């Protein structure tokens, strides 16, 4: 029996949540941003704004030039995460084989369940009705149904917003003929360019290209490309219950103009190191490889290096000292940076390590434990490094998704 | 008009059997009684071990954000959105739109 995969994609998600919460925003072009200033970027647009051809990542000044009536709305990440948890609770009632692809996209394998609901299309409409009752009329979803994830996502795109698309077998050849390779999730601009150099522009072209050529050009990935070109998506659905352990834990921050001087940027970096360390302790990991980078100026190149610690650690100060050593090793230091990032990889479960040998390390460990307990009880801002009080509070990160921020 | 984020208020709610959060019916702000005509969105926020329910509600054309501290059982007004317009002919202000809060 071939699979029945449902792809659910929330429509203009962040913006629609804001419009649901604030009736004065409904029907208007809105842009959701971290800080509504000229130099910020816009994370999400409403349907009305998308008619101007906007896409996420456009700077505020450019968007306002093209659409003077655009309303800037500060984002509320907790609102989006909570709404996602609510719709996931509804979807879990349909199948346990549910892959949370992002904060606003889900894949569901309903091969066995669809019939109970009158078929996959009827099930999709039922989900939309339940969302209407549970989330409100302005938060809608589009669903695509096909035998594989890639094609479910592709067919759903054509029925946006608030639609249901079903890819029948007899429609597949037409879809392959009309779909540019760049439209496929998993084929980025660089691969698209390389394919174009081989004369491959559509999925049908891909399917008609020999498997051996694609393997030679792209390795194992070439098998995936060939398969997609023939209308077959072998990608497995990874249920939320089977998510693999993290390979690294990291944070990055885009800096507002007043924090771009190097000394201030380092204060932000120190804060990020504390956050990364706190998350690692919560997940029960220590790490050995510290990766640190920054972007020079407003649109300059990104510079990054990594370092391996002598001993694995989950301490924010240790991670920060490693970052300092990394920055010292980068030959040129700009006077101004617009983005700082840190991540720790080469993770090991903390329980697998022997007890700490030295009293100084055990003292630090007890201190970290106490800080974590205070933050768990009273919130993340309840206790902070003294130096972080020199910084104005940065807006919450809008966009992206941290799976460990929720349990369900 | 005085309204700061975090202004304590009195609220009348209904607890329904199959609802995960109380339904806000009415609240009292300064001398005003505000009857909620529609609840637009309710979401949960956490600060440490304390859970807050954040309500975005409407009363006619006016919109409000309120917060319920589930630990202490207290309601606060966080944001008010009225419309305010000046009628030049009559020299009178009519409440149409004002943003207070944030």
**Mutation target among B18, B45, B48, B102 for the A interface, most CBs of A within 10 A:** B48
Reported as half-sphere exposure (CB side, CA atoms, 13 A), residue A119 has a value of: 5
Over 70: is that where the pLDDT of B96 sits? no
pLDDT of residue A37: 65
Kindly give the parts of chain A with pLDDT less than 70. 1, 35-39, 298-300, 391-408
Q: Report d(CA A169, CA B95) in Å as an integer.
A: 59
In this structure, what DSSP letter does residue A147 have? S
The pLDDT-based confidence of B83 (bands split at 50, 70, 90) is low
Please answer whether residues A94 and A86 qualify as being in contact, where contact means their C-beta atoms are separated by less than 8 angstroms: no
User: Which residues on chain B are in Cβ contact (under 8 Å) with A74?
Assistant: 102
**Mutation target among B21, B42, B43 for the A interface, most CBs of A within 10 A:** B43
pLDDT of residue B3: 52
The mean pLDDT of chain B is 83
- Contacts across the A-B interface (CB distance below 8 Å): 48
Burial level of A265, CB count in 10 A (0-12/13-18/19+)? buried
pLDDT of residue B87: 54
Q: Do B49 and A375 touch (CB under 8 A)?
A: no
- Which residue is it, tokens 């759903």? A156
Q: Report d(CA A176, CA A395) in Å as an integer.
A: 43
Locate the chain B residue with the closest alpha carbon to A17.
Answer: B41
% of chain B surpassing 90 pLDDT: 58
pLDDT of residue A402: 43
Burial letters A300-309, b for 16+ CB under 10 A, else e: eeebeeeeeb
- C-alpha distances (whole Å) from A278 to each of A228, A253, A365, A397 are 41, 17, 12, 17
Q: Where are the beta strands (DSSP E) in A51-169?
A: 71-74, 98-102, 105-109, 141-146, 164-166
Helices A221-229 & A211-218 angle (0-180, nearest 10): 140
A window 246-305, beta carbon within 8 A of B: none
DSSP state letters, A320-357: HHHHHHHHHHSS---SBEEEEEEEEEEEEEGGGSPPP-
The pLDDT-based confidence of B94 (bands split at 50, 70, 90) is low
Interface pTM, i.e. ipTM = 0.81
Q: What are phi and psi of A27, to 5 degrees?
A: 75, 5
CA distance A46 to chain B (A): 17
Model confidence pLDDT, tens digit, residues B44-63: 999 889 999 999 999 998 99
Q: Does A405 touch chain B (CB under 8 A)?
A: no
Reported as half-sphere exposure (CB side, CA atoms, 13 A), residue A116 has a value of: 7
Please answer whether residues A68 and A29 qualify as being in contact, where contact means their C-beta atoms are separated by less than 8 angstroms: no
Over 50: is that where the pLDDT of B74 sits? yes
């Amino acid at each position: 029996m071939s699979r029945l995969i449902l792809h659910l994609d929330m429509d203009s998600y962040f913006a629609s949540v804001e419009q649901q919460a604030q009736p004065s925003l409904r029907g208007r072009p809105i842009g959701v941003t971290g800080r509504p200033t000229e130099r910020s970027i816009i994370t999400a647009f409403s349907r009305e704004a998308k008619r101007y051809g906007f896409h996420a990542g456009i700077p505020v000044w450019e968007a306002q030039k093209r659409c003077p009536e655009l309303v800037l709305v500060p984002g509320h990440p907790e609102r989006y995460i909570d709404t996602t948890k609510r719709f996931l609770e509804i979807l879990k009632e349909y199948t346990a084989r549910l892959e949370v692809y992002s904060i606003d996209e889900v894949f569901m394998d309903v091969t066995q369940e669809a019939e109970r609901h009158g078929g996959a299309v009827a099930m999709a409409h039922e989900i939309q009705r339940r969302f209407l009752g549970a989330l409100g009329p302005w938060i809608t979803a589009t669903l695509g149904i096909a035998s594989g994830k890639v094609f479910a996502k592709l067919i759903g795109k054509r029925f946006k917003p608030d639609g249901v698309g079903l890819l029948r077998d007899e429609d597949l050849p037409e879809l392959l003929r009309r779909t540019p390779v760049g439209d496929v999730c998993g084929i980025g601009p660089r691969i698209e360019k390389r394919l174009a150099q081989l004369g491959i522009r559509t999925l049908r072209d891909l399917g008609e290209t020999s498997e051996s050529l694609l393997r030679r050009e792209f390795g194992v990935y070439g098998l995936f490309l060939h398969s997609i070109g023939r209308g077959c998506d072998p990608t497995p659905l990874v249920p939320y219950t089977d998510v693999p352990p993290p390979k690294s834990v990291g944070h990055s921050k885009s800096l507002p103009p007043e924090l771009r001087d190097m000394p201030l940027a380092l204060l932000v970096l120190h804060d990020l190191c504390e956050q990364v360390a706190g998350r690692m302790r919560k997940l029960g990991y220590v790490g050995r490889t510290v990766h640190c980078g920054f972007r020079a100026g407003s649109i300059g190149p990104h510079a990054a290096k990594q370092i391996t610690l002598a001993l694995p650690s989950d301490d924010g100060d240790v991670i920060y000292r490693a970052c300092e050593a990394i920055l010292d090793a980068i030959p040129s230091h700009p006077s101004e940076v617009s983005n700082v990032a840190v991540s720790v990889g080469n993770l090991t479960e903390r329980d697998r390590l022997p007890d700490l040998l030295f009293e100084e390390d055990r003292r630090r460990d007890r201190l970290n434990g106490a800080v974590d307990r205070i933050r768990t009880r009273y919130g993340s801002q309840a206790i902070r490094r003294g130096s972080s009080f020199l910084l104005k509070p940065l807006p919450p990160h809008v966009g992206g998704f941290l799976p460990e921020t929720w349990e369900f | 008009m005085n309204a700061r984020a975090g202004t304590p208020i009195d609220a009348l709610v209904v607890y329904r059997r199959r609802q995960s959060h109380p339904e806000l019916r009415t609240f009292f702000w300064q001398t005003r009684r505000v009857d909620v005509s529609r609840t637009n969105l309710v979401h949960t926020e956490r600060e440490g071990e304390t859970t807050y329910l954040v309500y975005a509600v409407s009363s006619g054309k006016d919109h409000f954000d309120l917060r319920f501290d589930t630990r202490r059982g207290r309601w606060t007004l966080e944001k008010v959105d009225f419309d305010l317009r000046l009628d030049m002919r009559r020299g009178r202000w009519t409440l149409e739109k004002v943003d207070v809060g944030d």
